[in-house]
């Protein structure tokens, strides 16, 4: 497996305060119980932390993930939706650094298929 590891010597690598999301999108699985999350960041000089949460329209959290000191600027992962299915969800993603706090955030609303009983 090949890793795309940004290094401080990379001319495009940004300091922590300037790191941003380039892309955040969700692909719901047909079963309505899981989603594939795609995230792309700007190149970075220091490894960022991220917090990703998915909530219902009533702001009930159905899943969350923490990424600690990410080594990569692109990744895909699966999140499992807990509880009774609803028609619409909101994904909120934040880039965080211990020293300075949140530097970027994204929020998007998506629908997931309601599974057949």
- Tell me the C-alpha distance between 56 and 29, whole Å: 17
User: Domain coordinates of the chain in residue numbers?
Assistant: 16-111
Question: What percentage of the chain reaches a pLDDT higher than 70?
Answer: 89
Q: Which residues lie below 8 Å from residue 96, measured CB to CB, with a gap of 6+?
A: 48, 49, 50, 51, 102, 103
pLDDT in tens, 27-82: 999 999 999 999 999 999 999 999 999 999 999 999 999 999 999 999 999 999 99
What is residue 98's DSSP assignment?
Answer: T
Q: Are strands 101-111 and 88-97 parallel, antiparallel or unpaired?
A: antiparallel
The reported pTM is 0.87
Output the CA–CA distances (angstroms, integers) from residue 21 to 34, 42, 75, 117, in the order listed: 22, 6, 12, 37
The residue to which tokens 């119980």 are assigned: 33
- 16-111 under CATH 2.60.40.2550, yes or no: yes
Please determine, for residue 17, whether its predicted confidence score (pLDDT) is greater than 70: yes
What is residue 102's DSSP assignment?
Answer: E
């Amino acid at each position: 497996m090949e890793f795309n590891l940004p290094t401080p010597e990379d001319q495009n690598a940004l300091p922590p305060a300037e790191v941003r999301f380039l892309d955040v999108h969700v692909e719901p699985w047909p079963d309505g119980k899981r989603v594939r999350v795609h995230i792309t960041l700007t190149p970075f000089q220091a490894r960022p932390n991220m917090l990703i949460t998915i909530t219902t329209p009533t702001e009930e959290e159905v899943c969350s993930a923490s990424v600690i000191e990410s080594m990569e600027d692109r990744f895909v992962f699966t999140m499992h939706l807990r509880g009774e299915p609803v028609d619409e969800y909101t994904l909120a993603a934040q880039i965080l650094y211990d020293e300075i706090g949140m530097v970027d955030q994204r929020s998007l609303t998506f629908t997931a298929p309601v599974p057949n009983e």
